[in-house]
Amino acid sequence: MFPTLHDIAPWLPPLDTHSVFVALGMLAAIVVFLVEKRRRGVRDPRIVYLVLGAMAGAAIMARLGTWAQHLDPSKNLNLGEQLLRGNASVLSALVGAWLGVHIAKKLCRYPGRTGDLFAPAVALAMAIGRIGCLLTEQPGTPTGAAWGIVLDADAAARTGSPAGVPLHPSFVYEIVFHAVAFAVLWFWLRHKPIAAGETLTIYIAGYAVFRFLIEFVRGNDVAWMGLTRPQLFLAVTIPLLVARIIWMLRRGRFRAEPAVEGTVPDGQPA
């Protein structure tokens, strides 16, 4: 485990490893977003408000999503403590980013669909950000596989994991998933005749199913009926995403919509 960059290389300053990789993921996402924005010819200046909305929503909901961990409110942190030092959730951050974009759209009256701009950027940010999780958090449950991660006593105590036994590298699985998803989105899906905004739906649905399955080797606490809290959340949201995709198929949204005069290919105002 490497809680600070100083632990990886002594010549580096003792910066928080997880925070650094989250920041690198965000920077990579901004670059990808700008490249895709230019490729699609999106010139509406209000797009910056949507990006700010996504970042604010993700930052707030990442913490709030793990707030009510106990039915007894007195056992949970107060609101200020939760926002400052509470556990963060990637799933909650994704929900927050989605809400933030939609709130920003309402406030600035942005008319177009923007999922295609965000999808590859989010996938790359997740792949990079999960490297920080891999280096600082509990790897997963015990496995007999040769690729398991073995922690020494100090690292095991720090992460609440068993020492000296191979553990599932669950974050490696996630990194691979998001890297492959980024490649599929960037090199294939964004060039396919899919209706505006729907590549993000496909990516989020794929990640939801993957995350539900990977939770079985993640090592998170079981909350109810053998399922972790993320799995309980996904048990509700996956059917909604599947229903959305079925609706997309029936409405033909996997086919490009006819171009409208005065718009660029993704349906955004010229």
Residue 208 in domain? yes
Residue 257 in domain? no
Specify the pLDDT at position 224.
85
Residue 217, Cβ density class (10 Å: 0-12 exposed, 13-18 middle, ≥19 buried): middle
- Nearest Cα to 29, choosing from 178, 137, 207, 234? 178
Cβ atoms 1, 136 nearer than 8 A: yes
Specify the pLDDT at position 170.
94
- E strands within 98-211? 149-150, 166-167
Instruction: Name the residue range of residue 140's domain.
Output: 115-251
- Nearest Cα to 88, choosing from 136, 42, 121, 51? 136
Instruction: Kindly report, residue by residue over 112-138, the tens digit of the pLDDT.
Output: 888 889 999 999 999 999 999 999 888
Residue 36 in domain? no
Phi, psi of 243 (to 5 degrees): -60, -40
Residue 59 in domain? no
Dist. CA 190–CA 116, nearest whole Å: 7
Split into its structural domains, the chain has a count of: 1
* Residue 140: DSSP 8-state: -
- Nearest Cα to 57, choosing from 122, 108, 17, 101? 101
Mapping DSSP to helix (H, G, I), strand (E, B) and coil, where does residue 253 land?
coil
- Helical segments of 195-228, H only: 198-214
Specify the pLDDT at position 78.
60
Residue 164 in domain? yes
Over its length of 270 residues, how does the chain's per-residue pLDDT go in tens digits?
787 877 777 877 888 888 899 999 999 999 999 999 998 888 889 999 999 999 998 888 877 765 566 555 566 666 566 555 656 678 888 888 999 999 999 999 998 888 889 999 999 999 999 999 999 888 999 998 888 999 988 888 888 888 889 999 999 999 999 999 999 999 988 877 777 778 898 999 999 999 999 999 998 888 888 898 889 989 999 999 999 888 888 877 766 554 433 334 444 432
Specify the pLDDT at position 269.
36
Residue with tokens 């961990």: 69
Instruction: Kindly report, residue by residue over 56-80, the tens digit of the pLDDT.
Output: 988 888 777 655 665 555 666 665 6
Residue 243 in domain? yes
- Neighbouring CB atoms inside 10 A of 77's CB total 16
